[in-house]
Structure 1
Amino acid sequence: MIGSLLYLTATRPDIQFAICLCARYQASPRTSHRQAVKRIFRGFSDADHAGYRINRKSTSGTCQLLGTSLVSWFSHKQASVAFSITEVEYIAAASCCSQLLSMKATLSDFGLKL
């Protein structure tokens, strides 16, 4: 159900927040999550009223490519609450840079120079 809704976000960005909020609970869904997804299917676009406790932590993620191959990716909720979009971007950039430095060290251990 979430996959079908994620496909719709390309043409319906107004429901993207609600769908992404529901997608966070795919690993261990509950009845309230299923009901929220059904409400979205019926046109209800605000998952806040479906019983979720929304916190202000942002979800961020990165992907690292080596040439044209994807070698690392992640998506997670940030550990702290940011007060602005700029701060969210800085936190995501710092996380990405630390992953890149780790990958660079690993490649150096294998004798590859960048």
Structure 2
Amino acid sequence: MAERPNLDEDKGGKLIDPTRFRGMVGSLMYLSASRPDIVFAVCMCARYQAKPTEMHLTAIKRIFRYLKGTIHMGLWYPKDSGFELKAFADADYAGCHTRRSTSGSAQFLGHRLVSWSSKKQKSTAISTTEAEYIALSGCCAQILWMRSQLRDYGFAFNKIPMYCDNQSAILYA
């Protein structure tokens, strides 16, 4: 997960045209379908669409500069990369000023990224292990849904590995 964001409400900053800002955020949201590397940063900027300031515009422009420098990047789906289902989950413990954690997960079919998510957890976790459990449960729900969909097409998955980086969550699972 990313480090704590430096973007905040910026109550004392100079306000900018919200229509232009929303247009830039919308363009980046559309692009994020094939560029999951920008999803977190774009979503952080999208939180401030009501009253954007110059600080928020600078953050949006920084994402555009990043895209300009990484124009060759994107999702690549090779045709011969296996067909095993696996998942990765992580959580940013109390990373928000409301002390709520952020869950993130990615699901792969072979070497192909087919599903990912990043969302603020609905409850406040009291430990990193609990935050990881919440992230893993969301990831597990997605994997079970994917398994049922693939079963409809004749593919059976008995064991689906889920990876987590929290030693306590692994030890007591």
Query: TM-score by structure 1 length?
Result: 0.62
Provide, for residues 53-105 of structure 1, a one-character-per-residue CA deviation record: whole Å limited to 9, x for no partner: 82011111100000000010000000100011010000001111111000000
Aligned match of 1:34: 56
Runs of 4+ in 1 over 3 A off after TM superposition: 21-25
1:36, CA displacement in angstroms?
Answer: 9.4
Alignment of 1:15-34 (within 5 A): 16-19=3-6, 21=7, 23=41, 24-29=43-48, 30-31=52-53, 34=56
Alignment of 1:12-91 (within 5 A): 16-19=3-6, 21=7, 23=41, 24-29=43-48, 30-31=52-53, 34=56, 54-91=97-134
**How many percent identity over aligned positions?**
43
Q: How far, CA to CA, are the matches of 2:99 and 2:55 in structure 1?
A: 19
Equivalent residue letter for 2:45: Q
Alignment counterpart, residue 101 of structure 1, candidates 134, 141, 144: 144
Q: How far, CA to CA, are the matches of 1:32 and 1:82 in structure 2?
A: 33
Aligned match of 2:82: none
Q: Secondary structure at the match of 1:82?
A: coil
Q: How far, CA to CA, are the matches of 2:145 and 2:44 in structure 1?
A: 30
1:35, CA displacement in angstroms?
Answer: 8.6
Q: How far, CA to CA, are the matches of 2:104 and 2:97 in structure 1?
A: 19
Q: Secondary structure at the match of 2:117?
A: strand
Q: How far, CA to CA, are the matches of 1:55 and 1:33 in structure 2?
A: 21
**Number of residue pairs the alignment of both structures matches:** 84
Q: CA RMSD in A?
A: 2.6
Q: Secondary structure at the match of 2:44?
A: coil
| 5+ long unaligned stretches in structure 2 | 9-40, 60-95, 158-173
State whether residues 45 and 56 of structure 2, in contact with CA within 8 Å, keep that contact through their aligned partners in structure 1. Answer: no
- Structure with the bigger RCO (C-alpha within 8 Å, sep 6+) is 2
Q: Where is the helix percentage greater, Structure 1 or Structure 2?
A: 1
